[in-house]
């Protein structure tokens, strides 16, 4: 992995980043930076939180010069919140190169905003308000040499295409364009092609979950003592715990039962709205609550690095679900444990699943017997861990 310096970032920017604890580029940043700093148009797709703001922010501030006519760069974003957030993040690095950043969004007074916008090298704007300022001839975009569309898919979803089209038509044709979106298919892809010129395309796909680094336990339980066993487990040394149940009612019931035993948990529902989900996750991440109860559906897209325990309070439906659940712990070089509760009626199914996952020994470690026949091992064991190989030797 290259450093920011190796990718072409200047010393003042590297120092400004380091002051914020940002020392090594994320993947989308490494990939976009090289092309963007070389002046190429870019199409980029990567998931939320992967660092897209700096992927375009660094090239924007590196390629501008404080003596350029203003505004020299335009960043279009779908919402006011995002304008503020991106504006803040860019201000930080822009000041290292004596550049000014201004935000333009609706719902606040125009005169002050215009004053600041006219002095700024970089405008971060929502399409609606910017269009308004352009219609009133309060700002001009004739000197824009870099255009960024951030969250372009959301801009289209929110119906901003007419404004975006009008704004882009006012920009110099000779410019650099960077296009960021969660998808580059369909309508967004067409827009991306229309607005860019021979772009470099970068997509960072999500890592497939893996359970290779996790420790696995299969714990025999009776239905009526599962909550006690869970309480015991949760009192062990740990960071965040993610507890899987089969239904959302099960999630609510378990939350109540834990509450009565003094354990504050969050129940995450697929059908809770995005705001509620986000609030729940934020308090989980900040450590206000360290037990999260989820169904398979509710946990979809959940992206947390500090989970040390995944507990299958209800067993997963099959081995694929097991990987999706337990794959959320032991990530990024950290250790983690997947614990599966197994009552007497579930033993057969879970042993079949354990067998498919090559976790037969772990299944038997706490007193249960596998009842699936041992699967013959393939001669070539490419990609298998040493642990598994020594186990097959044991047999």
Residue numbers at the binding site for Mg ion (CB under 5 A): 52
Region from 44-52, 164-172, 181-189, 256-264 binding ligand ADP, contact rule CB under 6 A? 44-52
Nearer to ligand ADP by Cβ, of 83 and 233: the residue is 83
Q: How far apart (Å, rounded) are the C-alpha atoms in residues 337 and 311?
A: 8
Task: Find the part of the chain contacting ligand ADP (CB under 6 A) among 25-33, 215-223, 324-332, 375-383.
Answer: 25-33
Stretch that binds ligand ADP, among 34-42, 49-57, 239-247, 299-307 (CB under 6 A): 49-57
Identify whether the C-beta of residue 184 lies closer than 8 Å to the C-beta of residue 45. yes
**Chain centre to alpha carbon of residue 196:** 26
Asked if 250 interacts with ligand ADP (CB under 6 A), we say no
Residue 55 or 221 with smaller CB distance to ligand ADP: 55
Residues 6+ apart with CB under 8 A from 126: 76, 77, 78, 79, 80, 83, 104, 105, 106, 160
Q: Are 292 and 325 in contact (CB under 8 A)?
A: no
Residues 267-286 that bind ligand ADP (CB under 6 A): none
The least distance separating ligand ADP from the CB of residue 17, rounded to whole angstroms, comes to 7
Helix or strand run (H / E) with residue 136: none
CB of 262 to ligand ADP, least distance (A): 33
- Contact residue for ligand ADP among 31, 34, 52, 309 (CB under 6 A): 52
Residues 6+ apart with CB under 8 A from 74: 122, 123, 125, 141, 144, 146, 147, 148, 167, 171
Contact partner, 161, from Mg ion, ligand ADP, none, Cβ < 5-8 Å per class: none
| Among positions 10, 27, 37, 51, the unique one binding ligand ADP when judged by CB under 6 A | 51
Residue 50 engages ligand ADP in binding (rule: CB under 6 A): yes
Q: Which of 13, 25, 93, 184 binds ligand ADP (CB under 6 A)?
A: 25
Region of residue 311 (phi > 0: left; psi between -120 and 50: alpha; otherwise: beta): beta
Does 341 bind ligand ADP (CB under 6 A)? Our answer is: no
Closer of 93 and 265 to Mg ion (Cβ): 93
Residue 114 is a binding residue for ligand ADP (CB under 6 A): no
- Going from the C-alpha of 58 to that of each of 8, 29, 92, 119, 384, the distances in angstroms are 10, 9, 11, 20, 41
Residue whose C-alpha is closest to residue 357's, from 323, 310, 313, 315: 323
329 contributes a contact to ligand ADP by CB under 6 A: no
Gap between the Cα atoms of 93 and 5, Å rounded: 14
Q: Is 53 in the site for ligand ADP (CB under 6 A)?
A: yes
Question: Rounded to the nearest whole angstrom, what is the least distance from the CB of residue 73 to ligand ADP in the complex?
Answer: 17
Q: What secondary structure does DSSP assign to 351-389, as a single string?
A: HHHHHHTT-HHHHHTTT----SPPPPPPS--TT--HHHH
Query: Cβ closer to Mg ion: 52 or 309?
Result: 52
Beta bridge mates, 177: 147
- Decide if 381 contacts 389 (C-beta within 8 A): yes
For position 48 contacting ligand ADP by CB under 6 A, the verdict is: yes
In the list 9, 26, 93, 255, the residue contacting ligand ADP (rule: CB under 6 A) is 26
Positions in the binding site for ligand ADP (CB under 6 A): 22, 24-26, 29, 48-54
């Amino acid at each position: 992995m290259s450093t920011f310096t190796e990718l072409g970032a200047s010393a003042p920017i590297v120092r400004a980043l380091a002051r914020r604890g940002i020392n090594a580029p994320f993947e989308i940043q490494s990939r976009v930076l090289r092309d963007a700093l070389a002046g190429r148009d870019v199409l980029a797709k990567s998931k939320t939180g992967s660092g897209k703001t700096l992927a375009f922010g660094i090239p924007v501030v590196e390629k501008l010069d404080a003596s350029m006519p203003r505004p020299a760069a335009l960043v279009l974003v779908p919402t006011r919140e995002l304008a503020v957030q991106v504006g803040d993040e860019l201000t930080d690095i822009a000041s290292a190169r004596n550049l000014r950043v201004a935000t333009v969004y609706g719902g606040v007074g125009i005169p002050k905003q215009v004053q600041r916008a006219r002095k700024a090298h970089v405008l971060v704007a929502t399409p609606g308000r910017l269009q308004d300022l352009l219609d009133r001839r309060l700002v001009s975009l004739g000197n824009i040499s870099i255009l960024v569309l951030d969250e372009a898919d959301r801009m289209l979803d929110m119906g901003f295409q007419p404004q975006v089209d009008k704004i882009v038509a006012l920009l110099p044709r000779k410019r650099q364009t960077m296009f960021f979106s969660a998808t580059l298919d369909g309508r967004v892809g067409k827009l991306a092609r229309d607005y860019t010129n021979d772009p470099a395309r970068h997509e960072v796909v999500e890592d497939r979950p893996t359970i290779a680094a996790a420790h696995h336990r299969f714990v025999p339980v009776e239905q009526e003592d599962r909550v006690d066993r869970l309480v015991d487990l949760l009192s062990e040394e740990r960071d965040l715990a993610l507890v899987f149940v089969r239904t959302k009612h099960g999630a609510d019931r378990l939350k109540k039962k834990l509450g009565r035993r003094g354990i504050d948990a969050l129940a995450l529902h697929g059908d809770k709205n995005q705001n509620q989900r986000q609030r729940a996750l934020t308090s989980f991440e900040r450590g206000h609550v360290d037990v999260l109860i989820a169904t398979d559906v509710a946990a979809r897209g959940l992206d947390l690095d500090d989970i040390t325990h995944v507990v299958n309070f209800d067993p997963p439906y099959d081995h694929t679900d097991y990987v999706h659940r337990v794959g959320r712990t032991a990530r990024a070089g950290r250790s983690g444990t997947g614990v599966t509760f197994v009552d007497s009626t579930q033993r057969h199914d879970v042993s079949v699943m354990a067998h498919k996952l090559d976790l037969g020994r772990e299944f038997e470690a706490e007193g249960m017997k596998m009842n699936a026949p041992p699967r013959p091992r393939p001669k070539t064991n490419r990609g298998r861990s040493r642990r598994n190989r020594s186990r097959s030797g044991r047999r």
